[in-house]
Chains A and B, each alone.
Chain A
Amino acid sequence: MVNKSILVVGAGISGLTAAIEAAETGSEVFLVEREAYLGGRVARMNQYFPKLCPPNCGLEINFRRLKTERRLRFFTGAEVLGISGQEGDFSVTVRLNPRFVNENCTACGKCAEVCPVERPDDFNYGLDKTRAVYLPHSFAFPTRYVIDEEVCQGEKCAKCVEVCPAGAVELKMQPKEVTLKVGAIVWATGWEPYEAARISNYGFGRFPNVITNVMMERLASPIGPTGGKIKRPSDGREVERVAFVQCAGSRDENHLPFCSSICCLASLKQATYVLNANPRAQVAVYYIDIRALGKYEDFLARVQAEPNVTFIKGKPGEILEDRETGDVIVVAEDQLAQKITRERYDLVVLATGMAPAAGADMPLLRLDERGFVAPDQVPGIYGAGCVKKPLDVASAVQDATSAALKAIQSTVRRQQNG
């Protein structure tokens, strides 16, 4: 008996795409996502390059397709514990972690108003805080609150339970384990930003005004911690002079030896954020090579034409802080001008790279020496998206669409072979 359903692990843009495309083609699909919301890391971006369009637009369409597709069932707060079996007949155990809030939740927010506990907001990369009971972000889908059990005081507080008009808070919710029987698996668990603190000469973690590109996305986002105003962390001043440092932790034997593919374009995009917020701002981009491939070259040409953007060929060796002002000083060799430069900025954005987030050691899933899902897997298991290699959104969607077909083949092939 061949199982024709497909499991997609991870509901970022790649997982969502693979799941929706496979379901619309006719397959039964299970989509499991570890976080309490779907959308993964793209939900945390302000805009996509080169169109500078909002991720929530495409996500809204995808969620609409997901809602109308009866063959697709998704689970949030879900983690894969183990996989066994073979193509056409996999057995996957999944733990469904309790959200402590049930489907009655209308996201009215009264619970958060009375909650006494605060926690760092991981959606905003720690740039602000939420209460222990929180909505992951304002566009969260499912639109339902969740409780961080690590900080929640539980029964002895229970203020949220009292105040909820819909009876949606269930502090006693238990984790559940389910076993899914599927014919094929698409592993799309995505990436995580490289730990910038490990690049010790760049001061991340020591100097408040050195931030990473993913944090910049949150600062620039109108639904982010600063309402879209690009304010520097030390004193909340809106920035006038910003430096982008490319290849921060990528193309580097000491960190990630590969190139993270998207950081050049991401910095160009963020340069436009800075200029849109403040047309008088000055932006500098320190680079080794500018990687704007294919038609993205047009976007590079557009940003290069901006008079307030300077490109400096030379990767900084040091980033220093002026303690009194919080200003950051970038020391780099300007190779085209043949001189060493020391420039002062309000804010430095490190274009940190993408490390794969394949998850814990999973039997049957082959990872390469850098932790990416390797090109060759056992039949029936397919990687999709940034967990395979660093990719931009359009390429990740292309990859996921292709993975959907491969997964469908696995469910059909065994059928054909009996």
Chain B
Amino acid sequence: MADANAPSKYDAGFAREVYGLENGSYVKQCMQCGVCAVSCATFQCMDHSPRRLFALVRAGRKDEVMRSNTPWMCTTCLMCKARCPRGIPIVDVMHDLKGLALKEGRVTYPQAAMYQAFWKDMSGRGKMFTAGIMKNYTLKRGLGNLGKMMGLKDFGLKMFSHGRVPLMPPKAPKGKKQLMQMVKKAQELERKGAK
């Protein structure tokens, strides 16, 4: 464990790793103005503002960036991207950081688990199935999370009464195979787009 008083070392390696992501190279252009920090819809929940997160990326502080809840708080509202004076597509960078975090196995946040749960269910089915997603999510988060889930039961019942929680999985969509091909192509393009 590094001495808390020792200066933190700038490490170019992690920065380059981020630059290599599809939209990661935009992080280079950040001039640390801070507009994103207070434009973000969920900035009050973030441990690091997007501005600070980018400074951490450039400083090479991989652990802090990967542990940060910032990308996971992003609701893709696009306010930051609209206002960023450097024209950085912050939302897209956050998306890439989320991907990197998942690849690194950092799935501590509920949002991360939700993303994975959603994708696992969707990519198999080709269509949304809330119960399936919730099942995946619960398994991912562990049974210890069940208590919290029970806290949502009133909300869940209300949704159910509005017909928003079908008990049976939906029929497979037409062209599911083609849809899956499109997804694969998109993933391939994403890899190619990364520098």
Contact = CB atoms under 8 A, between A and B. Distances in A.
Given A247-B33, A288-B33, A252 B85 contact: yes
Given A288-B31, A333-B51, A335-B51, A317 B85 contact: no
Interface string B70-94: 0000000000001111110000000
Contact of A340 (B31, B32, B43): B43
Contacts of B86: 253
Contacts of A219: none
Contact of B34 (A201, A255, A333): A333
Interface string A309-340: 00001111110000000000001110100001
Nearest to B80: A317
A317 B87 contact: no
B112 interface: no
Contacts of B34: 288, 313-315, 317, 332-333, 335
Interface string A335-355: 100001000000000000000
Contact of B37 (A201, A251, A253, A340): A340
Interface string B150-184: 00000000000000000000000000000000000
A68 to B, nearest CB: 48
Given A254-B85, A254-B87, A201 B39 contact: yes
B38 A340 contact: yes
Contacts of B35: 315-317
Contacts of B38: 316-318, 331-333, 340
B36 interface: yes
Nearest to B39: A317
A315 B35 CA distance: 6
B49 interface: yes
B84 to A, nearest CB: 8
A317 B85 CA distance: 11
Interface in A100-128: none
Q: Is the interface of A mostly helix, strand, loop or mixed?
A: loop
A331 B43 CA distance: 12
A319 to B, nearest CB: 10
Interface residues of B, number: 20
Contact of B33 (A255, A315, A340): A315
Contacts of B85: 247, 251-255, 315
A313 B83 CA distance: 18
A314 B83 contact: no
Given A333-B37, A340-B43, A317 B31 contact: no
A315 B85 CA distance: 10
Contacts of B49: 333, 340
Nearest to A286: B34
B37 A314 contact: yes
Contacts of A247: 33, 85
Contacts of B37: 314, 317, 332-333, 340
B172 to A, nearest CB: 44
A247 B32 CA distance: 13
Interface string A178-209: 00000000000000000000000100000000
Contacts of A251: 31, 33, 85
A288 B38 CA distance: 14
B192 to A, nearest CB: 26
Contact of B83 (A317, A331, A340): A317
Interface in B1-59: 31-39, 43-44, 49, 51-52
A386 B35 CA distance: 28
27 contacts: A201-B83, A247-B85, A251-B31, A253-B86, A253-B87, A254-B87, A288-B32, A288-B34, A314-B33, A314-B34, A314-B37, A315-B33, A315-B35, A316-B35, A316-B38, A317-B34, A317-B36, A317-B38, A317-B83, A318-B38, A332-B34, A332-B37, A333-B34, A333-B49, A335-B34, A335-B52, A340-B43
Given A247-B33, A314-B33, 10 more contacts: A251-B85, A252-B85, A253-B86, A253-B87, A288-B33, A315-B34, A315-B35, A332-B34, A335-B32, A335-B52
- A-B pairs, 9 with minimum CB distance: A317-B38, A333-B37, A252-B85, A253-B87, A317-B39, A314-B34, A333-B34, A315-B33, A331-B38
